Chain A
């Protein structure tokens, strides 16, 4: 293709699609703060892991294996949902590491203990028993994880261009935090039960069941809220919406942590169920209200391919459409498997065009050929 369409050029510029992520930026203070706090967090976590490895190695290993598998499943899911202008792997990894090491070790572990103990000293241990975690964790942990979104926004301003990017990056950070916390709860469960590994598996089972309405969702909502609050070059700041989402993420987290105290003597608490429904609904609402920009970028990027005859107009609707549109299109085709392959190849083509800045490179031509091959395989 000799002439790029204006829309395609604009889509690539606005989205930052295809840009590479560089963590090492010596002139960017965010890089040094990121490294310092991740290193500090690693020291704190290493102290805990040394205890776990010495006395509760079976529970620690079980936690690492079980939650490692859970992490792989969620990483796949989040990456799958980020199908338009995908967050680069390096940026996603930096977010996961921040959540796993920095936000836990350098912020939450020490900060939560301090707030809970302070509430016990000032208001009594029974108050802290009921409400301490609900007071400490939502504020400390959401700010700790949100700090990661802010640092990575400073490190990758051309890549985080929409609230949807904040949602996805926040989900990666929250997932890192969640898995780190899950692993520590597994061996702490054994430690609190005289080293009984069965208690660790009980914790693993319970935490896995409760893994959907958890940190990856809180921080996804918080991350989108932060991006809306700050604004991006092509997404005007919406301060009330942004602040509201960040506060709502904290509120949901607080309600979840306070559910036992709210329920009191009731054997079955409805609070976790209500919070889970509200959080999942909120996450979907944020997704639906932020993904439009990404879909529009995909459409603008791929429209010239329709003119070139590489992509059919209805295929473009499926590639740039939501899950339902894509599924309906695939099902409506005489050979749905073949149609799915074509859509996949066209998505790969979009990523290749973005990576090459819209130029008609050998790799782009090869990706176009792959689309043609997918039609006949």
Chain B
């Protein structure tokens, strides 16, 4: 059969360390691409610092019609700042604010029941996930109130080396049949999260419905 016009075909008998010579360079190119995407880029990303710390005047848009005032100096890892994005923020959205090893993650999505029901749902999911990623001990539930007056329920979680809090709210927004559930999970190493307790409480209390 006709062969060899492109170099891909080459001669199967020309070998280098047991491999067909003509397959080595392109295969290594693909392998290199895989290593770049799965190892090199994630490694560069892990070591890269945030260059845009949050300022006092900035407001995070958690979902359409719900905002939060982040603590200045923390970094917005995922999410949108009100008035700073072209894409609209939908009713289902994730916001992640970080400082050191502490993560403050807010998940918003439509939810048609009470904050207690939302917390129960979150705990059910967590209990199922605990079977795969290790468990934590939960404290009693308590009431949380935002400065706007919205009432949510919270619970603290303590693991082996990390601890945190889960807080659930359900906001009733004007013009929407279904409420908007908001889940806040603040977690981090025990010492780090204790030092940032006031920041975390302030951010939770700043959550407000804007419509």
Contact = CB atoms under 8 A, between A and B. Distances in A.
Interface of A: 13-14, 16, 26-30, 32-33, 36-37, 40, 44, 50-51, 54-56, 106-108, 110-111, 113-115, 117-118, 120-126, 128-130, 140, 143-144, 147, 150-151, 153-154, 157-158, 189, 192-196, 199, 230-234, 237, 260-265
A52 to B, nearest CB: 10
Contacts of A193: 92, 109-111
A261 B87 CA distance: 4
- Tell me if A's interface is mostly helix, strand, loop or mixed: helix
Contacts of B33: 107, 143-144, 147
Contacts of B128: 54-55
A233 B6 contact: yes
B2 A234 contact: yes
Interface residues of B, number: 65
Contacts of B29: 150
A122 B51 contact: yes
B34 A106 contact: yes
Nearest to A32: B27
B41 A261 contact: no
25 contacts: A13-B2, A28-B23, A28-B27, A29-B23, A30-B30, A37-B30, A40-B38, A50-B132, A56-B125, A107-B33, A107-B34, A107-B37, A118-B41, A121-B48, A129-B79, A144-B33, A144-B37, A154-B27, A192-B109, A194-B122, A231-B6, A233-B9, A260-B86, A263-B87, A265-B88
By DSSP majority rule, is chain B's interface helix, strand, loop, or mixed?
mixed
Given A118-B41, A231-B5, 8 more contacts: A27-B18, A55-B125, A111-B42, A117-B45, A121-B45, A126-B85, A144-B33, A157-B8
B195 to A, nearest CB: 23
B15 interface: yes
Contact of A37 (B31, B78, B84, B92): B31
Given A110-B37, A129-B79, A154 B23 contact: yes
